[in-house]
Amino acid sequence: MNHTDNDQEYFKSYDNFQVHELMLRDRPRVTAYYDAIMNNKHLFENKVVLDVGSGTGILSMFAAKAGAKLVYAVDACPTVCHLAEELIKSNRLQEKIHVINKRIEDIEKFDETIDIIISEWMGFYLFHESMLESVIYARNHFLSLPSQNDDITPDQNESIIIFPSHAYLYCAPFVDQNIRIELNTMWKDYFDLNMSPILSHIKNSKLKECVIETIEPSQLVHDAQLIQSIDLRTIQIDDLRLLRSFCEFDIDNTCIISGFCFWFDCYFSSNNNSSILRSTRLTTSPYSTKTHWKQTLVFLPEDIYPLKGDVVPVNIKLKQSIENRRQYQISISLKKIKGGVMNNIGCDDDNSNTEWNIRRRQRRRSSTISSDKRTTTDNKSKDTSSDSTSSNSDDDVDSNEHSIPCSCDRDRCKLIKTIIEKYTEETIVE
């Protein structure tokens, strides 16, 4: 399938009202654009606006109501363009909005110079569908700039108005609470029947592809890290072919990691808004109201069990597909886990040890995370904390007496040895 076929399939999928209904029902999405445009009416007053991928024309109508002199609403889907014209007419905005049923790349020029570009181009994990390329094309070919030079200078940046103006992609490790468990258990014991052969007929049953799902904040086992930042005023199409990043997650508490969760934020900043963080924000974070983008989950082949103090180093690569430029391959490389301050982990009383044993068994069975408790006793110095991570066989044993890895029979040493052996080889999720 060539790029033309991929584009036709892509636009066909959006020439369906159900897709647009889903987006219109996404209140955080629509609210962010409405606030960004209406709170900046001074920018839109008597300006010519280009809406790239205008769909039902909702953003075009916002721009027109904000005072734009003219809005070009460009979309390649004929059915949706007809609907947009009907909606625009019903709101008496047909004199201000001109609907154009074409790909933006197929337009040679507009009758008037473009002052502002607006677009809702974001896909899953920000880059899916590659609509950002169309926005960049529109910026490079149609947006009014002080100079016609190909290179955009910092001073020119301040004169470019594109909504949204900036986008940020985040990543955090998460623990799965049901997806893998259901696949591994549900069909093997289904009303006393073994239905496991059905797995081969279930899409993505091995979780080798991304899973688009909403997760709870409690499933995140570490704070997110920023892995990609996009400035819509300067980013070029070639910059999107391959995106690499590296993260290190310092583990505060012994936990389970099932995979890595991705989400994005977008900001609507202008030359009159020097602080990006003060501008309107659209977020798809698990901590915020749910959106139709949900979160993107990339599962590891199996859960891993880093200990408190470990450092989990992760290489992340997003590579645009050669066969279909609207898709990306997300690769996660887990390098060897770096052992943390495990020598400081000890325990002081039998009750804490027993409690840890129970919680550890429950944790592995249900794949849920609870925070480790810390206890201090009178016979310990104030700057020494104990973490309930050892078994009853570890009582009153100074962990500094054991090397890492250690070949003794202590449960803690066996666990550490198993983890070290397991990750001496690089693990790659493709």
Which residues are known catalytic residues? 120, 129
Please count the other Cβ atoms lying within 10 Å of the Cβ belonging to residue 241: 12
Nearest to 391 by CA among 420, 423, 413, 362: 413
Please count the other Cβ atoms lying within 10 Å of the Cβ belonging to residue 271: 13
User: CA–CA separation, 25 vs 111, rounded Å?
Assistant: 34
Dump the DSSP string for 58-123.
HHHHHHHHTT-SEEEEE-S-HHHHHHHHHHHHHTT-TTTEEEE-S-GGG----SS-B-EEEE---B
- In the block, tokens 């337009």 appear at 107
User: CA–CA separation, 13 vs 118, rounded Å?
Assistant: 22
Which residues on adjacent β-strands are paired with residue 248? 313
Give the HSE-up count for residue 39: Cα atoms under 13 Å, Cβ half-sphere: 16
Contact 428, 390 (CB under 8 A): no
How many Å is the maximal CA-CA distance in the chain? 82
SS (H, E, C) 220-244: ECCCCEEEEEEECCCCCHHHHCEEE
Nearest to 359 by CA among 373, 379, 347: 373
Nearest to 369 by CA among 249, 253, 247, 263: 253
Which residues on adjacent β-strands are paired with residue 226? 170
- In the block, tokens 């002199």 appear at 69
Nearest to 164 by CA among 35, 347, 321: 35
